[in-house]
Amino acid sequence: MTEFVDLGKSEFKKYDLVCHCFPYTRKQIEEDYLENGRSTILEKIVLEKKSGGCDCANKNPKGR
């Protein structure tokens, strides 16, 4: 089983939002990957972005 190791160099802490458009935390993404062997969350985000569901420029405090 894959285990994620935090080397203290990660930009995201366990419960930080990874994206402001889609309310997923680092922990949720890691659990999703471990449970499914791939990131189904990433697949959902990619589909939403393709259909125009991303508004990072306005929702992200850093504007990206």
pLDDT tens column, 23-49: 888 899 999 999 999 999 989 988 998
**With 70 as the cut, is the pLDDT of residue 17 above it?**
yes
| Nearest CA-CA partner of 17 in 53, 38, 45 | 45
Looking at per-residue pLDDT, the higher value among 40 and 21 belongs to 40
Amino acid at site 61: P
pLDDT at 2: 62
Number of domains in the chain: 1
pLDDT tens digits, residue range 45-55?
889 989 988 88
Distances (CA, A) of 8 to 13, 14, 19, 20, 54: 9, 11, 20, 22, 29
4 lies in a domain?
Answer: no
pLDDT at 36: 96
1 lies in a domain?
Answer: no
Q: Residue 32 corresponds to which tokens in the numbers above? A: 């999703």
9 lies in a domain?
Answer: no
57 lies in a domain?
Answer: yes
- Sign of the four-CA dihedral 42, 46, 51, 54: positive
61 lies in a domain?
Answer: yes
6 lies in a domain?
Answer: no
User: Domain range spanning residue 42?
Assistant: 14-64
